Amino acid sequence: MAQNGYHIKFEHSTELITDKTGLLLVDEFWKKFNLNDMIDNAFGKPGSNRGIMASKYVRTLVELIIDGGTHLEDVRKLEADTAYKKLIGIKSYPTSDAIGDWLRRQGELGGEKKMWHIISQLLKMNKDKELILDVDATLIQSDKGDGKKSYEGIVGYHPLLGMTVENGLCIGSRFRFGNEYAGADLLGFIKECNRNIGNRVKIVRSDSAGYNHEIINYCDEVGKYFIITADRDNSVMEAVNKIERSQWVWGKNEDGSKAKWQIAETSHTMNETKKAFRLVIKRRKIIGQLGLFNQDGYSYWMLVTNLPEEKYSSNDIILFQHDRGEMERLIGEFKNHFNMEHMPCGQLTANSVYFTIGVLAYNIIQLIKEISLDKEWLKRSIRSIRYNIIHLPSKIISSSRYLVSKIVCAKELFECFVFAYNRLRYAPFAPS
């Protein structure tokens, strides 16, 4: 007997009830920016008159990923939601087998590149100028198929990602084998990211994978700033060792308090760089056993940059590079909470299309937050968005002229959702 004194009886209902009401925001976004046409123009028509258009496959995967699905088979849950299908006016979804076949087919036909043609058109709607580009790679474990062993011994893939932390958008990706070097053709990737966002990257920020003369020379030539973690090579350490003891000063934390590390600065150059650049060094006293690379009792972290001294002090440069932690958070959000830590297929090309559709889903959520929700939602994770907005339950009632969605939730969430929906549906907003 239940605690309230009543027996609980369960019955199956055929009423039109859905827990995906919030996905209507994705539906309105999709219509507002005419994504069906953009996708079908990029991928072309299917091989037969009975074939399914590419836009239907892409939309299915975008909805599946945003809804929280982890496997292609989870499309069955979308298919079973008759109420939601009625809300958005579709009759059916492709099966998981059909989706897998489409991913494998499009992977061989350059699907990743086609997806980035679509995503770049959406990115240009964002109006932010002078963006900071963070580039980094991440590992995805995949023991099946053609995954390769990475430097960490993980078998799988090693995609490269470019993010702009000001707005949380992913402006570039390359899906690669696990044994691919993190810095392979990084300059070409930086150029791609810059093109995707409409040539608005002002500062390139990278870990030591970006420490090479090609990237440094490129930034100097085209008028971009860079801040890159330097390798601890002989020439860098020689420059560090020439710094006088009196030049080391205590650093300051973000709040202005005294830090537990010291900073100093000198100029440096590489054999093939055309200009000298700033070398900013952070050192911390080591407590305990000394290692091979810190015989003087300090650990070192070196940064190279061409950011102007009159605007960015040595301390500013250190704190600026500390902010790369936000890039790591965004990658974690995309990889773990958009369920990109597992790939559905056994071929790199097929998985590259799936991964890039994941980038589209991620960016759609970021853009929905930017253009239709209050500022308080901008830093909310997809888990919070799902819990509060995407998975709103409602009962669908048909009338002669329209559908009624009776949403069951707290009043403030109801008002938030309706405001976002109306803004997406009616407010003028178009890509630049």
Question: Using CA atoms, how far apart are residues 261 and 282, in angstroms rounded to an integer?
Answer: 7
List of E strands, 294-393: 298-305
Please, which residues bridge with residue 305 across strands?
227, 278
Extract the runs of DSSP E, i.e. beta strands, from 79-138: 131-137
pTM of this structure: 0.93
pLDDT in tens, 370-386: 999 999 999 899 999 99
Q: Evaluate whether 62 touches 363 at the Cβ level (below 8 Å).
A: no
Over residues 199-204, mean pLDDT: 95
Are 364 and 66 contacting, i.e. CB atoms less than 8 angstroms apart?
Answer: yes
The pLDDT score that the predictor gives to residue 124 is 85
Asked whether 220 and 204 are in contact (CB, 8 A), the reply is no
Residue 400 has pLDDT above 80, yes or no: no
- Give the angle subtended at the CA of 205 by the CAs of 201 and 207, to the nearest 5°: 150
The two tokens of residue 392 are 């709103």
Please say whether the beta carbons of 219 and 194 come within 8 A: no
Both tokens of 350, joined, read 């097929």
Cα–Cα–Cα angle for 217, 220, 224, nearest 5°?
A: 125
**DSSP assigned state of 267:** E
Question: For the chain, percent helix, then strand, then coil, each to nearest 5?
Answer: 45, 20, 40
pLDDT, tens digit, for every residue of 6-25? 788 888 888 899 999 999 99
pLDDT digits (tens, 9 = 90+) for 278-298: 999 999 988 766 555 555 788
